[in-house]
Amino acid sequence: MHDIGFACDVAAVAFDDLDVGKTVEYHVLPQVFRRDRVLLDCEDLRRRPVACELQREIADAGEAVSGAGASNNPNHPARWRAMQELLEEALATLIPSDAEQAAVAALCDSLLARARKAAPDGVKPLLVGSVAKGTWLPGADIDLFLRFPEGADLKAEGLALARAVLPNGEELYAQHPYLRGSVEGHSVDAVPCFAISDPSQPASAVDRTVFHAVWVHENLTDAQRDGVRLAKRFLAVAGAYGAAAAVGGFSGYLGERALIHIFRCRRSYPLR
């Protein structure tokens, strides 16, 4: 069974981290959560097609147990059990199948082998992102970082190596260019970066990503990774998942840090 308190907690921690407000009063029913600014009330959710479907499921879960003496208190045992069941159903759709996990693992091995063969001395390819951290959802992108010594020309040398991995990749730009392509039906980013030793002194915008991946991987258990998947889904249906300017929400790393903070603060956190 799942302790669903983390879903509201991660939202509260993340929003506080972004200085949206301080006082938190959250309820599972009839709202996903609410604050003094009422960021996610029912009216707001109705304007979000994907979230609206989840909101109806939450309401149905509450109505299904209302005849069993459940009050409006979201912590009533009957409502809690209904939400636990809903989360179990949701999680079943968020864990990649054994076949997909095997296919992605084989693809990652192939990409790494291709990059290592083409890489000049001193350059280390490695995986980052949700696949490396074990928090990925079905259909997730694969992030391959190409770590060059500081002082290298990431535009020339970096793109040349990226092109060896993704010959037909599309050239995109952040602080410096990288390639995005499709391999065996999976979106793959090949991103040149610098191999820094001190994460507080990045030479480019993406250099710390490698440290993020290692830290998250070392600080989550397998069961807690399922909690991260549920939290990502919670934020996604609220229209708050994704750090892109068009979304203005939470990156995967911010959500993972919030969950790790919650896991550490709780004595017990059963997710299975």
Judge whether 117 and 149 are in contact, CB under 8 Å: no
Residues contacting 167, CB < 8 A, separation 6+ = 181
Of 3-17, 151-165, 189-203, 208-222, least confident by mean pLDDT is 3-17
pLDDT at 142: 97
Of 30-44, 125-139, 242-256, least confident by mean pLDDT is 30-44
Alpha-carbon separation of residue 101 from 46, 127, 135, 174, 231 (angstroms): 35, 15, 12, 29, 20
In whole angstroms, give the CA distance from residue 166 to residue 172.
13
pTM score, two decimals?
Answer: 0.71
Helix pair angle (222-237, 5-17), 10° resolution: 70
Residue 40 has pLDDT above 60, yes or no: no
